[in-house]
Amino acid sequence: MNQFGRLLKLVFLCVPLAYLASQFALPLVSGIVMSFAAGGFSLANYGFVLHDPLFWRAWANNLILPALSLCLEFVLGLLFALLLSSARRVSIVTEISILLPFLIPEIVFLSIARYILLPRGYLNGALFSAGFGGAGWLNPGSGLALASVIVVDAWHVTPVVTLVLLGGLQTIPAELYEAAHLDGAGAVARLRHVTLPFLKPALFAALLLRGVDALRIFSTVLVLTGAEGTPVLSTYAYQLWSDALEPRVAMAASVMLALLITLLSLAVLVLRRRAGARGEGSWEYLAA
């Protein structure tokens, strides 16, 4: 019976591992091998990518866009989480308004955002009606287009950050707030000395979850500004694959995107571990 149980455990372990290998590991290895193929083993595909100005523009956008989007998401997410967890009753309309952007299918949400931001879209229509001039919110290569992508991306995903931080807020004992209030601490002091210190695990979880996801941004850029309007590494690789018909070069760009995501994720985890080893909170260590 013991041998049968061990065999059963081995089967239940090997079957999922075999599935993961077939669905993830083998395509990954195949893609890496493909990125080095150019009439034999060669670095020519990477050389082409590194000498392409559009690649470096996409690389810069792939760092700037997620960083600014994350900042906006965390500010709004914390404000919304504090609002939803407050003692005052929040209307159902407010709750739906906060969570609805993420509940709408992504392509529907992005299509609505595009109709709002088009030259003859709803936003410019409202500005013209108010006596102001319109703006080129999605003009290719403009700073305004980059800002529009950042706002739309943050608008769509802020509910995720809100829910993660709301879960963290609900774990903070109410007695701590009562004690701080009795000691004369105001709202800002309670936020600084009670809320944020106890919210560190949720903040770190949201940072890691959304940080990795933000680096993979694709649909938002493609729908709003097109592959070259505000290029990021994923749309750059997509354009090479579908438009330029250069699958090997596209795979080289994809490998570099995967490398960027891996290195930044490892850096965050290392900082977190070092902060724990020093007996410091991750919030103070990362902010130092």
| pLDDT value of residue 167 | 87
Helix (H, G, I), strand (E, B) or coil at 272: helix
| pLDDT value of residue 72 | 94
Residue 285 pLDDT > 60, yes or no?
Answer: no
Q: 240 phi and psi, to 5 degrees? A: -65, -35
Percent of the chain with pLDDT over 90: 18
Inter-residue contact 271 to 285 (CB < 8 Å): yes
Inter-residue contact 209 to 232 (CB < 8 Å): no
| pLDDT band of 276, cuts 50, 70, 90 | low
| pLDDT band of 149, cuts 50, 70, 90 | very high
Superfamily name with CATH number, domain 43-287:
MetI-like (1.10.3720.10)
More confident residue, 158 or 201: 158
62: nearest Cα among 241, 286, 235: 235
Over residues 225-245, the pLDDT tens digits come to 887 888 898 898 888 888 778
Percent of the chain with pLDDT over 70: 92
**How far is the C-alpha of 155 from the C-alpha of 100, rounded, in Å?**
10
Residue 279 pLDDT > 60, yes or no?
Answer: no
Cβ burial 117-136 (10 Å sphere, 16+ → b, else e):
bbeebebbeeeeeeeeeeee
**How far is the C-alpha of 84 from the C-alpha of 113, rounded, in Å?**
25
**How far is the C-alpha of 73 from the C-alpha of 81, rounded, in Å?**
11
| pLDDT band of 11, cuts 50, 70, 90 | confident
**How far is the C-alpha of 90 from the C-alpha of 248, rounded, in Å?**
53
Q: For the residues 247-252, what does the mean pLDDT come to?
A: 87
**The two three-digit tokens of residue 256, written as one number:** 């570099």
| pLDDT value of residue 283 | 37
- CB within 8 A of 165, min separation 6: which ones? 77, 78, 81, 199, 202, 203, 206
| 8-state DSSP, 90 | P
Inter-residue contact 238 to 217 (CB < 8 Å): no
Over residues 94-133, the pLDDT tens digits come to 888 888 888 888 899 999 999 999 988 899 988 888 888 8
| pLDDT value of residue 73 | 92
Q: What is the mean pLDDT of the chain?
A: 82
> Which of 54-68, 69-83, 87-101, 210-224 is the least confident region?
87-101
| pLDDT value of residue 284 | 39
Number of Cβ within 10 Å of residue 39's Cβ equals: 6
Rounded to 5°, the CA angle 234-239-241 comes to 95
Residue 209 pLDDT > 90, yes or no?
Answer: no
Inter-residue contact 98 to 80 (CB < 8 Å): yes
Q: For the residues 162-184, what does the mean pLDDT come to?
A: 82
| pLDDT band of 185, cuts 50, 70, 90 | confident
| pLDDT value of residue 76 | 92
pTM (predicted TM-score):
0.80
| pLDDT band of 68, cuts 50, 70, 90 | very high
